Amino acid sequence: MNILVLNCGSSSLKYRLIAMPGEKELAGGEAQRVGPPTAEPARIHHRVAGTEQVITVGMPDHAAAFDEVIRLLAESGGLAPDVLGHRLVHGGDRFCGSTIIDDDMERLHAVKDMAPLHNPPAIGLIEACKRRYPDLPQVAVFDTAFHSTIPSYASTYALPKTVRRDLEIRKYGFHGTSHQYVVAEAAKHLGKPLEQLNAVSCHLGSGGASLCAIVRGRSVDNTMGYSPLQGLVMSTRCGDLDPAVTLQLLHDHVTDIDAVEKVLNQKSGILSLSGTSADIRDVFAGMSVGGKDQERLREIASLYLWRIRKYLGAYLATVGKPDAVIFTDTIGETMPAVRYALCADMWWFGLQLDPQRNTSPGKLPADISADNSPVRILVIQTNEELAIARQTYDLLQTSTNISVRI
Amino acid sequence: MNTLVLIPRLRRLEYAFFSDDDRKALLESHLDGLPSEKGAMMDTLRKIRADCIMFNAGPPDLVVIRSAYGGAAFARTMRVDVEMLSRFADLAAKAPMHVPPVHLLAQASLQAFIGAVVVMAFETAFFVDLPDRERRYGIADDSVRRFGYHGLYHQAAGTERDGCRRNGPTRTLSLCLEPQPELAAIINHQPVMVTSGATPLEGLPGETTCGELDPAIVLTMARNLGWSPEQINNVLTRQSGLYALLGRPSHLGDLLGSYNWSMKEGGFPAADDGTPGAAYNILAYRILLVAGAGVATMGGLDRIVLSGRYTDQGRDLGQWLAEKLRSADADMERPKVVLCRTSLSRILADQGVVAAYEDNDPLRRFSSTTAPHGSHAPPSMQNRTS
């Protein structure tokens, strides 16, 4: 079964065609600058059989981008999807697991505004695919679904019940697809049944980042909350903030909510602290170069690490006896200095890093903890597209009323 | 020496009177309402002065005023004079609810208690020198910073001797159980982490305050409900916290005191939304989270010190936390739980005495038993000065 995984950004479309159950990637790529014309032309980076080609083509919307992807696949040795697996960022309370798309689109539309940048284009694409290929099965996989197991004592904000109910306010958690994937891989690596694994998963991306507390293989907390804004200091997102500061911003912007949202989502975080780069890797690189900015960059790095460290301690305390701490995504996988700083002086929690293994972890997944470390420290490469393909495949295998062309 | 402590609250003025030879207050009382006009404030202070005289031989020699906010400008308890009051008044824009009434109270105290030394102690002072990484947020404006708002309790907790390490710095989790609870991580006597933020709204949920909140929630309330910032502020500060979780006014002490924390060893028992069980779970879980964070910032834990008006009701909570925060290393000792029962007024009185001595004040003429280095030095000052 060839599953085409589609990951819709606000102006991009990432895709990967994966043959299941063998999990072999047949093709992949990314359509960039989808939407109205920009300074640079829209293009698709298309990878197949180890080679990449860049195709410049106009893509006024995600449906047009999808048409181009289907065309490119067909030209790549007659590849074609049997099933589409869509990533949706937010499923709200309505979707506690992946779901097969049927004719009833109302439930999907009900969660459209819960992730205003990501959900509308993804739902629009699902509808376009239905029109173009009505017989092609489609599955939606939600980032929030893995966190539907977060207990109410962790997901409830101390707000009036009517406000919580009317606005559907609770902690939803994000990056669920990635956390779920690496936790399953960690269980495999440790030779432990997933149902017995306690861990803290650190998804440290160059853009967004979150930590997830895992008890018996299930998510029990996530640093992101009602939205992806809460938690760690991210590339352009502020993370945790005193509610009074948000109120002050609203007041200062004469209640221009969109303007405040833009400040907190796109103009804060590492970008606002450094003034030049939103990428924490640039901050670390600048620190090692020296110069007049060195001290300031050190403070930014310290702030970034401090917030992660606090949540790491918080979650290690809540999961009981942890088996592992998992590092994943761009920063988590490739920055030994970040892992070292976070694990230093954490013996109280049972963490002891092996500096040599940390610096040269080799092929992932890798165990970088010292032999005597009671808690294993793992570096695992995340693969959200494969996770979506797995969930799509599993769902269709258990579903009786969908016929899939093999 | 006679010490008068004044604690201005939103709608009342609490006061306590101490004499030289007793650590217990001779008088603790309050007057409803906090005057906003100088004449009325003077009348209030005259009543208090009369009360003091009734309970003791003479008027106060030292007046200690508690201020909830001192900003970065006031890092210690200060003698009140014209220059100090001028600097204090500059903070009004940052804390418009707190600074003006305290300023008025201080001004009136100078006139009402002629001959007495007047000092001001700040709840935020203990946190002025928080490390940058703790005090800053992930936003461009670096003038927005974190403080703690129960610094006087935390400072006293940090100087408790019980549970101190013989070798190496003592790592303390100080949990202040007031209507707006607050947790601080303290290495020796220096705070390295605190749960409150730019205002006391952030952090742990209080009796009516929301505590930690996704910033997007505030925007959603504004967008979907059409509420103004003032309306949202009212909900977050007066209709949230335990009040919202229980659907009725509630004291933190009642909640803590009525709960069997030993039940929670195996996890959090299921409870329906709106019930005390659910509120317990939410509060306990939040406290455990921030306590774990505190341990991570200190690299370990020697003791948990409870303080505030609900100290005794929090005893079981402290034991539960100590169990949950045991080290993975079996050789490490279980953290000790210490109850710091010193009242806020007593802490303030001690602060005032120390500040007066540090200022080389005429108060030196009084009995050596009140000196911070003397044999009867206030316990909350002993470690600080050693």
pLDDT for A371-385, tens place per residue? 999 999 999 999 999
Q: Is the pLDDT of residue B368 over 70?
A: no
Which ipTM did the prediction report?
Answer: 0.92
Query: How much is the pLDDT for B163?
Result: 77
Contact B320, B352 (CB under 8 A): no
Query: How much is the pLDDT for B265?
Result: 53
> What is the dotted CATH code of the domain comprising B161-339?
3.30.420.40
A184 falls within a domain: no
Q: Is A346 on the interface with B (CB under 8 A)?
A: yes
Residues 53-72 of chain B whose Cβ lies under 8 A from any Cβ of chain A = none
Q: Which of B201, B273, B325 sits opposite A242 (nearest CB)?
A: B201
Residues forming a β-bridge with B30: B14
Of A61, A143, A166, A240, the active-site residue reads A143
| CA distance linking residue B371 with residue A219, whole number of Å | 56
- Write out pLDDT tens, residues A239-278: 999 999 999 999 998 879 999 999 999 999 999 999 989 9
| pLDDT category of residue A324 using cuts at 50, 70 and 90 | very high
Q: What angle do CA B323, B329, B335 make, to 5 degrees?
A: 35
Contact B219 A246 (CB under 8 A): yes
Query: How much is the pLDDT for A254?
Result: 80
Contact A246 B139 (CB under 8 A): no
Question: What 3-state DSSP class applies to A255?
Answer: coil
Contact A220, A185 (CB under 8 A): no
Contact B296 A312 (CB under 8 A): yes
Q: Is the pLDDT of residue A406 over 90?
A: no
Q: What angle do CA A308, B298, A368 make, to 5 degrees?
A: 55
Q: In what order do the strands lie in the sheet with B171-176?
A: B190-194, B182-187, B171-176, B303-307, B336-339
Q: What angle do CA A42, A43, A46 make, to 5 degrees?
A: 160
Q: Which chain B residue shows the shortest CA-CA distance from A231?
A: B214
- Write out pLDDT tens, residues B178-187: 999 999 999 9
A79 exposure class (CB count in 10 Å sphere: 0-12, 13-18, 19+): middle
Minimum distance, in Å, between the CA of residue B311 and any CA atom of chain A = 22
Q: Which chain A residue shows the shortest CA-CA distance from B283?
A: A153
Looking up tokens 């993370």, which residue turns up?
A239
Say yes or no: A223 and A353 in one domain: yes
- Write out pLDDT tens, residues A81-95: 999 999 999 999 889
Q: How does DSSP classify residue A12?
A: E
Q: Which of B193, B198, B324 sits opposite A242 (nearest CB)?
A: B198
Nearest Cα to Cα of residue A83 among A142, A30, A12, A19? A19
Q: Is the pLDDT of residue B227 over 60?
A: yes
Pairing state of beta strands A324-328 and A366-367?
A: unpaired
Contact A369, A377 (CB under 8 A): yes
A104 labelled catalytic:
no
Say yes or no: A225 and A95 in one domain: no
The count of residues in chain B is 386
CA A79 distance to own-chain centroid = 28
Contact B279, B258 (CB under 8 A): no
Neighbours of A25 (CB within 10 A): 16
Looking up tokens 């309505």, which residue turns up?
A94
Which backbone phi and psi does B59 adopt, to 5 degrees? Answer: -75, 165
Residues of chain B found within 8 Å of residue A306, distances taken between Cβ atoms: 133-134, 297
Neighbours of A341 (CB within 10 A): 18
Say yes or no: A208 and A256 in one domain: yes
Say yes or no: A25 and A157 in one domain: yes
CATH 3.30.420.40 boundaries in chain B: 3-127+344-385, 161-339
Q: Which of B133, B197, B278 sits opposite A306 (nearest CB)?
A: B133
Instruction: Give chain A's domain count.
Output: 2
Q: Is the pLDDT of residue A36 over 90?
A: no
Say yes or no: A127 and A227 in one domain: no
Superfamily in which the B3-127+344-385 domain is placed by CATH: ATPase, nucleotide binding domain (3.30.420.40)
Query: How much is the pLDDT for B274?
Result: 86
Q: Which chain A residue shows the shortest CA-CA distance from B281?
A: A153
Q: Is A209 on the interface with B (CB under 8 A)?
A: no
Kindly report each contact of residues B231-235 with a partner whose C-beta sits within 8 Å and lies 24 or more positions away, as own/partner.
B232/A247, B232/A250, B233/A244, B233/A247, B235/A159, B235/A160, B235/A163
Query: How much is the pLDDT for B361?
Result: 54
Mean pLDDT of chain B: 89
A406 falls within a domain: no
From the candidates A147, A165, A241, A325, which should be mutated to test the interface with B, based on the most B CB atoms within 10 A?
Answer: A241
| CA distance linking residue B186 with residue B195, whole number of Å | 12
Query: How much is the pLDDT for B363?
Result: 53
From the candidates A153, A267, A297, A377, which should be mutated to test the interface with B, based on the most B CB atoms within 10 A?
Answer: A153
| CA distance linking residue B14 with residue B210, whole number of Å | 26
Query: How much is the pLDDT for B374?
Result: 35
Residue A254: give its domain's CATH number. Answer: 3.30.420.40
| pLDDT category of residue A4 using cuts at 50, 70 and 90 | very high
Q: What is the mean pLDDT of residues B258-262?
A: 66
A57 falls within a domain: yes
Say yes or no: A318 and A205 in one domain: yes
Return the structure tokens found at B135. Answer: 């005090």
Q: Which residue intervals of A191-267 are DSSP H helices?
A: 243-252, 257-266
Residues of chain A found within 8 Å of residue B324, distances taken between Cβ atoms: 317
Record the pTM: 0.92
Nearest Cα to Cα of residue A172 among A111, A265, A91? A91
Looking at chain A, the whole-number percentage of residues with pLDDT higher than 90 is: 85
Residues forming a β-bridge with B183: B175
Residues of chain B found within 8 Å of residue A238, distances taken between Cβ atoms: 137-139, 215
| CA distance linking residue A88 with residue A114, whole number of Å | 11
Say yes or no: A223 and A314 in one domain: yes
Residues 364-403 of chain A whose Cβ lies under 8 A from any Cβ of chain B = 374-375
A399 falls within a domain: no
Say yes or no: A212 and A160 in one domain: no
Beta strands in A178-311 (DSSP E): 199-204, 209-215, 218-222
- Write out pLDDT tens, residues B1-33: 889 999 999 889 999 999 876 788 988 999 998
Q: What is the mean pLDDT of residues A93-100?
A: 91
Query: How much is the pLDDT for B275?
Result: 87
Q: What is the mean pLDDT of residues A216-236?
A: 96
Contact A169 B268 (CB under 8 A): no
Contact B152, B69 (CB under 8 A): no
Contact B216 A229 (CB under 8 A): yes
Q: Which chain A residue shows the shortest CA-CA distance from B213?
A: A243
Q: How does DSSP classify residue A196?
A: G
Contact A227, A238 (CB under 8 A): no
From the candidates A167, A296, A349, A353, which should be mutated to test the interface with B, based on the most B CB atoms within 10 A?
Answer: A349
b (16+ CB within 10 A) / e for A259-284: ebbebbbebbbbbbbbeebbbbbbbb
Q: Which residues contact A51 (CB under 8 A, 6 or more apart)?
A: none
- Write out pLDDT tens, residues A107-151: 899 888 888 778 888 999 999 999 999 999 999 999 999 999 999
Least confident of A230-244, B217-231, B305-319, B349-363: B349-363
Q: Which domain holds residue A342?
A: 192-384
Return the structure tokens found at B50. Answer: 């009369």
Q: What is the mean pLDDT of residues B297-317?
A: 96
Looking at chain B, the whole-number percentage of residues with pLDDT higher than 90 is: 74
Residues of chain A found within 8 Å of residue B93, distances taken between Cβ atoms: none
**Amino acid residing at A15:** Y
From the candidates B69, B132, B133, which should be mutated to test the interface with A, based on the most A CB atoms within 10 A?
Answer: B133
| CA distance linking residue B312 with residue B56, whole number of Å | 30
A397 falls within a domain: no
The more confident residue out of B246 and A11 is B246
CA B94 distance to own-chain centroid = 19
- Write out pLDDT tens, residues B167-178: 789 999 999 999
Q: Is A18 on the interface with B (CB under 8 A)?
A: no
H or E segment and range at residue A73: helix A62-75
Say yes or no: A351 and A205 in one domain: yes
Q: Is B201 on the interface with A (CB under 8 A)?
A: yes
Q: Is the pLDDT of residue B369 over 80?
A: no
- Write out pLDDT tens, residues B329-341: 999 999 999 999 9
Which backbone phi and psi does B235 adopt, to 5 degrees? Answer: -65, -45
Query: How much is the pLDDT for B385?
Result: 30
Return the structure tokens found at B327. Answer: 């080290």
Mean pLDDT of chain A: 93
